[in-house]
Structure 1
Amino acid sequence: MADTAIFDVDGTLVDTNYQHALAWYQAFRRFDITLPVWRLHRAIGMGGDQLVPHVAGDDVEQRLGEDLRQAWEEEFDGMIDSVAPFEGARELLAEVKDRGFRLVLASSGKAKHVDRFLDLVGGKDIADAWTTSEDAEASKPAPDLVQVALEKVEGKDAVMIGDSTWDAVAAGRAGIPTIAVRTGGFSAEELTEAGAIAVVESLTDLRDGLDDTPLARPGR
């Protein structure tokens, strides 16, 4: 039985994936590199250190990696006011907490962004812990962040709730199952192939069906 729920933040609790994709698109364009937005979107969920070589190759990473990440941050900062929480985010977190699970909000984002997003969902008032990019040496799809999230609350068994294929891969490498939500724009097939044990359309659907997941009430 799980004792800990680890929630991804970007794309799962708050609607950011397309802003991230467009910010990366504009960042690459600053350096005369034009990449299809759909390809960038499919890499969202990776850490920036992983994303640049994944979409543009090792040579671009070596030459421009740090500059591209700085450009992405500037572009994303200009879009952050458009970010909103997904319907039912706060209610889902409250329901999971009420069921007695330890609650960790796991993000590999920059601390200033994570603070903003946690405020949008009231996360600081309800979560037992949260993470930022400063908490793990390697970003997703490496398992480090998921492992750190579990360690922060001294959990024994966890379930991950995420929106991207990279969430499922990272959690799988940590030996943790993932419930995937389609809020990030990935297909059910992509998420299942990445290792998700279940895929739901929305946070409200997940809340309605919690008793059919590892987050069921004790005794169910």
Structure 2
Amino acid sequence: MTNTLVLDVDGTLVDTNYHHAIAWFRAFRRHGLTVPTWKLHRAIGMGGDKLVAEIAGQHVEDEHGDDVRAAWEAEFEPMLDEVRPFEGAHRLITTALEKDFAVVLASSGKRRHVDHYVKLLDVPDVASTSSDDVDESKPAPDLIATALDRVEGGRAVVVGDSVWDCEAARRAGLPCVALRTGGFAEADLLDHGASAVYDELDRLRADLSDLPFGPA
């Protein structure tokens, strides 16, 4: 049965995590709130529907949540043209396809952002998800389940860069391998369930056939 590679996008395939942290910082500042960027970075990879309460508390979510998210979108939009794929991202995907893996991009980003990343990665025929496809974002497992529904695969592994990817994979009952490309420490990723941590996409690509695939 075909193995499936469930790939996170932001911070895993494209270099966006620090752009997102700055955009969130500016979004909170629009509402008179100063949140340390290190705390924001630690929350990147979690869906925007959860981030405001996680970082600033439920009272801020209740009062300003939607406005902060709208401000984040406005702050991030001008940065979109600065985003670049990580070295080896295209090679990872094309090699997996050449090995007859099913590949799906499990992103909780905005659809137009995901479409932009797909163009950057030059993988127009690969299935993908966006925040429009689920009611609840990472670390909930919904996005992974939706991604798996889009491909005809069997055993699967999740590849991500954040502790939230690891948690979503755990809740979905799937193994996860992680990359340090998003800025999370190796120890944190392992503590949250990653079975292995890679510094580079090409190193992960070399181990594709040996990844810990589990029943989807």
TM score, norm. by length of structure 1: 0.94
TM-fit CA distance, 1:154? 3.6
Aligned partner of 2:147: which letter? A
Root-mean-square deviation (CA, aligned residues, Å) is 1.2
Aligned partner of 1:181: which letter? L
Structure 1 residues 211 and 158 mapped into 2: Cα distance closer, same or farther (>3 Å)? closer
- Superposed, which structure 2 residues align to 1:1-220 within 5 Å? 3-125=3-125, 127=126, 129-214=127-212
Aligned partner of 1:120: which letter? L
SS in 2 for 1:28: helix
Aligned equivalents of 2:181 and 2:170: distance in 1?
A: 20
TM-fit CA distance, 1:100? 1.1
Aligned equivalents of 1:50 and 1:212: distance in 2?
A: 34
Gaps of 5+ in 2: none
Indicate if the aligned counterparts of 2:102 and 2:152 stay in contact, CA closer than 8 A: no
SS in 1 for 2:7: strand
Indicate if the aligned counterparts of 1:45 and 1:167 stay in contact, CA closer than 8 A: yes
Aligned partner of 2:98: which letter? D
TM score, norm. by length of structure 2: 0.95
Aligned equivalents of 1:39 and 1:90: distance in 2?
A: 30
Matched residue, 1:218: none
TM-fit CA distance, 1:47? 0.5
Name which of structure 1's ranges 109-118 and 206-215 shifts more when overlaid on structure 2: 206-215
Aligned equivalents of 2:70 and 2:155: distance in 1?
A: 36
TM-fit CA distance, 1:211? 3.8
Percent of aligned pairs with the same residue?
54
Aligned partner of 1:114: which letter? V
TM-fit CA distance, 1:2? 6.5
Gaps of 5+ in 1: 216-220
SS in 2 for 1:124: coil
Query: Deviation digits for residues 21-80 of structure 1, max 9, x if unmatched?
Result: 000000000011001100000000011011000000000000000000000000000111
Aligned partner of 2:192: which letter? A
Indicate if the aligned counterparts of 1:2 and 1:214 stay in contact, CA closer than 8 A: no
Aligned partner of 2:207: which letter? G
Aligned equivalents of 1:206 and 1:144: distance in 2?
A: 25
Indicate if the aligned counterparts of 1:141 and 1:169 stay in contact, CA closer than 8 A: yes
Aligned partner of 2:70: which letter? Q
SS in 1 for 2:154: coil
Aligned equivalents of 2:153 and 2:146: distance in 1?
A: 10
